[in-house]
Structure 1
Amino acid sequence: MAKYQNYLIDLDGTTYRGHQPIPAAQRFIHRLQAQQLPFAFLTNNTTKTPQAVVQNLAQNHNIKVQPEQVITPSAATADFLLEQAGTHLKDQSLYVIGEQGLKTPLYQTGLQFNETDPNYVVVGLDSDVTYHKFELATLAILRGAQFIGTNADTNLPNERGLVPGAGSVISLVETATQRRAIYIGKPERRIADYALKTLRWSRDQVLLIGDNYQTDIKCGLAAGIDTLLVYTGVSTPQQVQQQKDLPTYQVASLDDWEL
């Protein structure tokens, strides 16, 4: 079994389920820290800022990390928008469906808020989404705005079960506009490439860990990164064995993974 120098670890379903801890994940993180192995969390959740994620991990899961160790689609989307806007950044605008964890880094790019005729529409998970927000996003996209989706997760595992995720919200706008969003988060390789660039890690020394074959594992496959599927969240062994491309490794618990 290969020894990896760096670990990219999913949060929801891998490190915890909502407010419910996953003790094996906590022990795994502590083992990484004891051996001084660099790691970061690669999440598809855009509702929280990295600072809020760090606070939650410390207060509720006894995991102490720095904000720089949290990679989100929000930051990756901001990076993508900066690339797209280029030298025209000051002349372009943005409309967002999402929560503060998404809006903060996007508007920090310098793109201005515009709900009528923006250059870009970004859609993510929003627990307070309304018909009016969908209406504004739909009309803007039909007027020509570039349509960006944070991630394709149809469901989000928490202590109550599998609740609707960002992909469910985005799919409504896709149906209304008959346009497919440009996706940034897992399973797209964009977020993995952003993480490697930000962390300055070598692709062949990284192991990506997650509970969802359709997002975590497919992201690793797309990005050429080895993967470890842990069966503590969304995917089941029966579902995974039906796939053509399997994860590099599979475990029932992170207690089963030897560093």
Structure 2
Amino acid sequence: MKQYRAFCFDLDGTVYRGKEAIPTAVKFIHQLQEKKLDVFFVTNNSSKTPSQIRETLKQFGIDASEKQIYSSALVTAKYVKERFGQAKVYVIGQDGIRRAFQEQNIGMVEEKPDVVVMGIDRMITYEKLTKACLAVQNGAALIGTNEDIRFPTEEGFHPGNGSFVKLVSQVCNVEPIFMGKPSPVMLEMIQQEYGYGKEEMLMIGDNYDTDILCGIRFGCDTVHVNTGVVKAEAVKEKELQPTYYVEDLSEFHI
């Protein structure tokens, strides 16, 4: 086993499912923290601020700082600022994406936007989707914080942000830009800010199409856990394989 320094965890389906912790993951994170190894949380969930995610982790018995949390909301806000400057943006989403845009001083509008940004919104309505469709048809760029079609909860799978972004893209016949995993941007941010070599980093997740491909595209080792969206049997049929397979994190020894 390689000696890794930075362990990057997906959240939904890897550390918890909905309102229930995955005990083996929590125990593994505690072991890493006891060994003074670096732990990061890399999530496509744009609905929560880093502070809110920290509180969620705390409820599951995990102590983390906001600096350890990287979300698709932060990446999306930085991308829009760099790519579109002072553009007017229509945002569908919750606290996380709105706070990230406020911190970047990006103007959020309800009418005639230059960009439509879609993050997960549990208060999504037909009116919001229609407004997004009309704006895109009138020339606005379409950006999704992530392309997850579904995510696991203690009840079963719920619709993910990607399902709504694809609805708008199909109505408007345009290709959206997606910012979260499998894009390697969040892992690149961690590497740049802390100076790790790629061989020192490990991406851990349950979803091949987001978590595992993110690690592969970044160039670090990956662990697929069989606790969430994509089961190991399906992953083993993929052309590009994760470095490790485990049923859960009790099987991964450091």
Category of TM-score, reference length = shorter chain: over 0.9
CA distance in 1, matches of 2:205, 2:8: 9
TM superposition shift of 1:199:
4.3
Displacement of 1:201: 3.2
Cα-to-partner distance string for 1:145-180 (whole Å, 9 max, x where unaligned): 221111111111111111111111111111111111
| Aligned-residue CA RMSD (Å) | 1.3
1:12 maps to a residue whose letter is D
- Within-5 A mapping of 1:1-259: 1-59=1-59, 61-85=60-84, 89=85, 91-259=86-254
Return the alpha-carbon distance in structure 2 between the equivalents of residues 226 and 145 of structure 1. Answer: 37
AA partner of residue 89 (structure 2): L
Q: Mind listing any 5+ residue stretches in structure 2 that lack a counterpart?
A: none
Amino acid at match of 2:114: N
After TM superposition, give the deviation of residue 193 of structure 1 in Å: 2.1
Distance 1:35 1:100 in 2: 34
Change (3 A) 1:127 1:203: same
Displacement of 1:108: 2.2
Q: Assess if the C-alpha contact under 8 Å between 1:124 and 1:169 holds in 2.
A: no
1:241 deviates by: 1.3
Q: Is the 8 A contact 1:148 1:182 kept in 2?
A: yes
TM-score (ref. length: structure 1): 0.94
C-alpha distance in 2 between matches for 1:198 and 1:78: 18
Runs of 4+ in 1 over 4 A off after TM superposition: none
Aligned 8 A contact 1:115 1:140 in 2: no
Partners of 1:76 and 1:194 within 8 A in 2 = no
CA contact (8 A) 1:184 1:191 kept: no
In the superposition, the TM-score normalised over structure 2's length comes to 0.96
Work out whether residues 138 and 173 of structure 1, in 8 Å CA contact, stay in contact via their aligned partners in 2: yes
**Which stretch has the larger CA shift, 194-203 or 10-19?**
194-203
* Residues 234/69 of structure 1: CA separation in 2 closer, same or farther (3 Å cut): same
Distance in 2, matches of 1:51 and 1:172, equals 31
How far off its partner does 1:205 sit? 1.1
